[in-house]
Amino acid sequence: MANKWVYLFTEGNATMRNLLGGKGANLAEMTNLGLPVPQGFTITTEACTQYYEDGEKINDEIMGQIMDHINKMEEITGKKFGDKENPLLVSVRSGARASMPGMMDTILNLGLNEEVVEVLAEKSGNPRWAYDCYRRFIQMFSDVVMEVGKKYFEALIDKMKEQKGVKQDVELTAEDLKELAKYCGVKKILVKDESKRFGLNAFKVLGGSYSIGKCLSEILNEDISKLPFFVLTSKEIKKKLGDLTFITATDGNHGRGVAWMAKHLQQKSVVYMPKGSSQMRLKAIQDEGADASITDFNYDDAVRLANEKAKENNWIMVQDTAWKGYEKIPLWIMQGYSTIMSEIIEELEKVKEKPTHVFLQAGVGSFAGAMQALLAEIYGKEKPITIICEPHGANCIYKSFKADDGNPHNVAGDLKTIMAGLACGEPNTISWEILRDYSNFALSCDDSISAKGMRVLSSPLGEDKRIISGESGAVGVGAFVTLYEKQNSYRDLWKKLNINNDSCILCISTEGDTDVDGYRNIVWNGHYENN
């Protein structure tokens, strides 16, 4: 005999507390006494236990009984769940065998959606009440089910009250509440997740591998198109090349990409990291076979050290920044990075979509420059608005824009930021010219902005996919969400950005949790709290 997982209020009584919970048993008893209790049903405590035994999934048998009881409620009330003209609205209340007042959660008006609320507004003759009900439903559902705290909605309401010049929630109109329900008010937010590249948790290998391939094609006097990966990594090619050493400076991702490629080529690699670099990132590079170490220098000085060692030992310098006399390899690296935007555009063309705004993070600017170059080439005068994001502690592109003299400007010092991949004080001379000529805005971002983006991507709304994005990967999303939530504080910039209901926002998450401990401290423990 099948288990009975669901009981109508008319089927229970006060003795069934362990099965129905305190509230379910009491509602059943009041129904039996003939009290005017709105009818409903109770999902048993045994069903809850089964849910956890099934790996936090509702099995088909339980779900079938729930849907059967929805149908019974429709018959009792003469209403239909999800119907626009005569909707059944359901209140959902959690319970337990033993609980305290205020301990459990409630969701009111389940069954409301954007279409139903309009009908409710019209039939009631009170649109403000209808949209307030809808707002409360969204807030409760987000808090209880999606684990998006009430405080975020309260902050939005407070912001709207400030914008409207009112002090009480009841002073907000139906139109105000309708706008609030749309949250960010854009058509789409697209995020490309680059944490899956070759199992390296970051995009950087695209530049390192392609530039090394181009170097070797020159040494071998062969066109790179004739040197696919399986040929380049063959014993025959190793014999022709002899013993080579590749050297670079990195905070982690680029160096790991270079080391990975060197390992597959059966060659050596040397990697210098700036002071304060993550021990976890260091180990990841060493695990790829590199002679890697953390120096006592900032990123730019670590680059200079690597360049000196390359000259002394006749090693091949593979660096993702450029300076006078060192431009060929950085350009190849940027060409490798452009694979990302090529993939994005190809996918968007399939669905006839185009970004209106692109948020790009920048360190030396190689990645941002590569993305910007392809956007300008493909879209021409119709290119999206581009916003460059950097950390406060290493904002050389921002400073270069602010100087407004057309020249790149350096930032000195420790370059301290949680966005380790962006902790660079000297712009790539090649990418700077691209960003200068084609990008629209540059933002200098507090570390809390990146942390905000990490948390947003980690805890998505609705059917959005969760993305594990590291400190350097999430700053674009963090910047967009912060600008939206605080648009009153950034009124002039928000107006210039011209973000509206037709906007399609593109961000690129360039890395995953390359420093697991750092990621956990931010996402789990709330380090770098939102400002």
In this structure, the number of other CB atoms found within 10 A of the CB of residue 36 comes to 6
Contact between 42 and 6 (Cβ < 8 Å) = yes
Residue 511 gets which letter from DSSP?
A: B
**Distance from chain centroid for Cα 487:** 20
Q: Answer whether 469's CB lies under 8 Å from 477's CB.
A: yes
Q: What is the DSSP annotation of 215-257? A: HHHHHHT--GGG--HHHHTSHHHHHHH-S-EEEEE-SSHHHHH
- CA 454 from chain centre, in angstroms, equals 6
Task: Report in angstroms the alpha-carbon separations of 297 from 255, 294, 306, 416.
Answer: 16, 9, 11, 12
- The C-alpha atoms of residue 369 and residue 353 are separated, in whole angstroms, by 22
Q: Which two tokens stand for residue 60?
A: 């088909």
179 burial (CB, 10 Å; 0-12 / 13-18 / 19+) is: middle
Tokens (6 digits) for 19: 């099965």
Among 176, 251, 446, 515, the one annotated catalytic: 251
Cα gap 246→260, rounded to integer Å: 11
Ranges of H-type helices in 242-361: 253-264, 279-287, 299-313, 328-337, 339-350
Nearest to 173 by CA among 126, 128, 114, 123: 128
Residue pair 355/348 in contact by the 8 Å Cβ criterion: yes
- Going by C-alpha positions, the residue among 382, 525, 373, 349 that lies closest to residue 451 is 525
251 is catalytic: yes
Residue 204 annotated in active site:
yes
d(CA 508, CA 372): 13
Question: Of 448, 465, 454, which Cα lies nearest the Cα of 514?
Answer: 454
Distance CA 318, CA 329 (A): 7
Per annotation, catalytic residue among 132, 176, 204, 300: 204
Residue 91, SS3 per DSSP: strand
Length of the chain: 531
CA distance 475 to 507: 9
Q: Which residues of 253-290 are buried (b: 16+ CB within 10 A; e: fewer)?
A: bbbbbbbbbbbbbbbbbbbbbbebbbeebbebbeebbb
Cα–Cα distance between 269 and 139 in angstroms, integer?
53
Residue whose token pair is 């209790």: 37
d(CA 252, CA 274): 9
Run of H or E including 445 = strand 441-445
Catalytic residues: 204, 251
